[in-house]
Amino acid sequence: MQRIVYASRNLMEGSEEEKLQGVQQILAAARRNNTAAGVTGALIFNSGGFAQVLEGSSHELAEIFERIQCDSRHTDVLVLDHCSISERIFPDWSMGFIGTNTGDELMFGAITQDSGFDVSRLAADEILAAMQRLVLEEENL
Ligand SMILES: Cc1cc2nc3c(=O)[nH]c(=O)nc-3n(C[C@H](O)[C@H](O)[C@H](O)COP(=O)(O)O)c2cc1C
């Protein structure tokens, strides 16, 4: 199995509500496809960008990531980590979404304070740690 962590810049325009609707569409496709492919992970979104973790067998992962990279809803896809793994971090999440219950500042405050709110400047480790923490929090709600 492999894991990919990347950050990208959002290209979706419109009101906050319209952007969130766009994210919901991304999530719906992700959950459908990832479940079928045995891929798991989590997605963070703010108005500026995305950060995503994907984990699964290398063939399925490559196929899905290829599609994601071609998606015109974002750009500047920057791979922060791509490694072999023996265990998943998000075994129960076809695509966990961080941010439905918290505002932009709140959800990113913890992980972007040192990077000037630029997700692409975050290290993969920081993203993973923050995602794990936030996913646990959402599971407890
Ligand atoms: C930031 C971002 C993350 C995405 N994550 C996934 C994902 O995890 N899995 C997936 O299948 N598609 C994901 N997509 C959507 C794909 O780019 C593509 O639109 C989708 O896989 C097409 O699926 P469909 O042919 O079933 O409609 C993502 C798109 C963006 C912009």
At 22, the pLDDT band (50, 70, 90 cuts) reads: very high
CATH classification at residue 8? 3.30.70.100
pLDDT computed for residue 140 by the predictor: 67
Overall domain count for the chain: 1
Largest CA distance in the chain: 41
Per residue in 117-134, pLDDT tens?
455 566 788 788 878 777
The model carries a pTM of: 0.86
Q: How far is the CA of 26 from the centre of ligand 1 (A)?
A: 6
Note down the domain range covering 74: 2-140
**Burial of 17 from C-beta contacts in 10 A (0-12 / 13-18 / 19+):** exposed
pLDDT computed for residue 108 by the predictor: 47
Residues near ligand 1 with C-beta < 6 Å?
26, 29-30, 33-34, 43, 50, 52, 54, 64, 67-68, 71, 73-74, 95
Q: Between vectors from CA 19 to CA 16 and to CA 25, what angle results, nearest 5°? A: 145
Determine how β-strand 40-45 pairs with β-strand 96-98.
Answer: parallel
